[in-house]
């Protein structure tokens, strides 16, 4: 999963045109322009400028899923995958039912051998179906994440330039898997990016389920729509991300 997401993220880095980043930042690169050789500052001044550059963090994974567009599209994907989940459950129930038949004392050796062979065949078919469903769910999930990240990347670049950030580091993976050991909450721009992106995308926030009034009979009332549904295969597994694209 991590490799797949890293591959499409790498494609995004090179796919975002420089002109797009320039428009997003209001300068040639979306960030303050580098000084030319003719008027380059002294080493001391340059060191001071670097020292005052701010470093920010963003959880790209969280930003994608927390955006209104992400919530809408991943919820829709989960519902889309529910029929496949039901199909897999039926296959699994059939295998379990056959396994229970093995406990019968009335089976002949030949019948038992045939039953074992049947179970093995159905078990293998189930495993293949589960793997195919998982791969399909991950592929569709990555497509959603890629589409959102392509539109979110210029928002990140513009925000970083406007707020004077010199570096934005992705914290989707905690240390030691990720590069950040510790960062103060004050430098995290995830919520700001989500809020800005929500305004730009125009996608409204998902509707919250209506609260259920207490039952007058004293019996516990079950909120509407609270019936548990089987989780779609790996649809809720969050993709692993890397650092968002920055302008060159």
Residue 130 domain-assigned (yes or no): yes
Structure confidence at residue 36 as a pLDDT band (50, 70, 90): very low
Spatial distance between the Cα atoms of 119 and 19, rounded to a whole number of angstroms: 60
Beta-bridged to residue 188, according to DSSP, are: 57
Residue 64 domain-assigned (yes or no): yes
pLDDT at residue 41, as a whole number: 36
Ramachandran bin of 30, using left for φ above 0, alpha for ψ from -120 to 50, beta for the remaining angles: left
pLDDT surpasses 50 at 11: no
First-residue to last-residue Cα distance in the chain: 28
Angle at 176 between CA 70 and CA 161, to 5 degrees: 50
pLDDT at residue 213, as a whole number: 57
Alpha helices in the chain (DSSP H): 2-15, 18-25, 43-52, 60-66, 68-101, 109-163, 190-201
Rounded to an integer, what is the distance from CA 176 to the centroid of its chain?
Answer: 20
178: nearest Cα among 239, 243, 236, 237: 243
Indicate the burial class of 115 (C-beta count within 10 angstroms; 0-12, 13-18, 19 or more).
middle
Q: Could you read off the pLDDT of 70-101 as tens digits, one per residue? A: 999 999 999 999 999 999 999 999 999 999 99
pLDDT surpasses 80 at 146: yes
Rounded to an integer, what is the distance from CA 124 to the centroid of its chain?
Answer: 30
Structure confidence at residue 68 as a pLDDT band (50, 70, 90): very high
pLDDT at residue 105, as a whole number: 85
Q: Could you read off the pLDDT of 211-242 as tens digits, one per residue? A: 655 554 444 333 333 333 334 444 444 444 44
Among residues of the chain, what percentage have pLDDT more than 90?
58
Residue 84 domain-assigned (yes or no): yes
Spatial distance between the Cα atoms of 62 and 77, rounded to a whole number of angstroms: 17
Give the chain's mean pLDDT.
74
Least confident range from 36-40, 50-54, 180-184: namely 36-40
Indicate the burial class of 176 (C-beta count within 10 angstroms; 0-12, 13-18, 19 or more).
exposed
Measured between alpha carbons, how far is residue 189 from residues 16, 168, 183 in Å? 21, 9, 12
Residue 223 domain-assigned (yes or no): no
Residue 81 domain-assigned (yes or no): yes
With the CA atoms of 230, 232, 236 and 240 taken in that order, what torsion angle do they form, in degrees rounded to the nearest 10?
A: 150
Beta-bridged to residue 58, according to DSSP, are: 170
Rounded to an integer, what is the distance from CA 131 to the centroid of its chain?
Answer: 20
pLDDT at residue 46, as a whole number: 36
Averaged pLDDT, 162-170: 94
Averaged pLDDT, 175-182: 91
Number of domains in the chain: 1
Residue 149 domain-assigned (yes or no): yes
Residue 134 domain-assigned (yes or no): yes
Residue-range definition of the domain harbouring residue 100: 51-201
pLDDT at residue 156, as a whole number: 97
Averaged pLDDT, 58-68: 96
Residue 20 domain-assigned (yes or no): no
Beta-bridged to residue 165, according to DSSP, are: 54
Least confident range from 44-48, 50-54, 105-109, 203-207: namely 44-48
With the CA atoms of 81, 83, 87 and 89 taken in that order, what torsion angle do they form, in degrees rounded to the nearest 10?
A: 70
């Amino acid at each position: 999963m991590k490799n797949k997401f890293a591959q499409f993220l790498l494609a995004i880095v090179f796919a975002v045109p420089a002109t797009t980043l320039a428009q997003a930042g209001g300068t040639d690169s979306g960030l303050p322009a580098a000084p030319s050789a003719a008027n380059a500052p002294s080493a001391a001044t340059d060191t001071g400028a670097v020292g005052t550059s701010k470093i920010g963090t963003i959880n790209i994974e969280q930003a994608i899923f927390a955006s209104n567009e992400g919530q809408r599209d991943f919820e829709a994907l989960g519902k889309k995958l529910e029929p496949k989940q039901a199909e897999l459950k039926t296959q699994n129930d059939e295998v379990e039912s056959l396994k229970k038949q093995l406990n019968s004392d009335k089976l002949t050796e030949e019948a038992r051998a045939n039953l074992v062979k049947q179970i093995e065949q159905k078990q293998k078919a189930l495993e293949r179906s589960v793997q195919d469903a998982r791969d399909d769910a991950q592929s569709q999930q990555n497509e959603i994440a890629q589409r959102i990240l392509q539109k979110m990347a210029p928002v990140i670049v513009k925000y970083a330039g406007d707020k004077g950030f010199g570096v934005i580091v992705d914290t989707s993976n905690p240390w030691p898997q990720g590069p950040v050991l510790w960062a103060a909450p004050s430098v995290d721009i995830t919520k700001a990016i989500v809020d800005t992106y929500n305004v730009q995308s125009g996608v409204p926030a998902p509707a919250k389920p209506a609260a259920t009034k207490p039952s007058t009979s004293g019996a516990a009332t079950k909120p509407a729509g609270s019936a548990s549904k089987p989780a779609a295969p790996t649809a809720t597994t969050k993709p692993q991300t890397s650092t968002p694209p920055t302008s060159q």
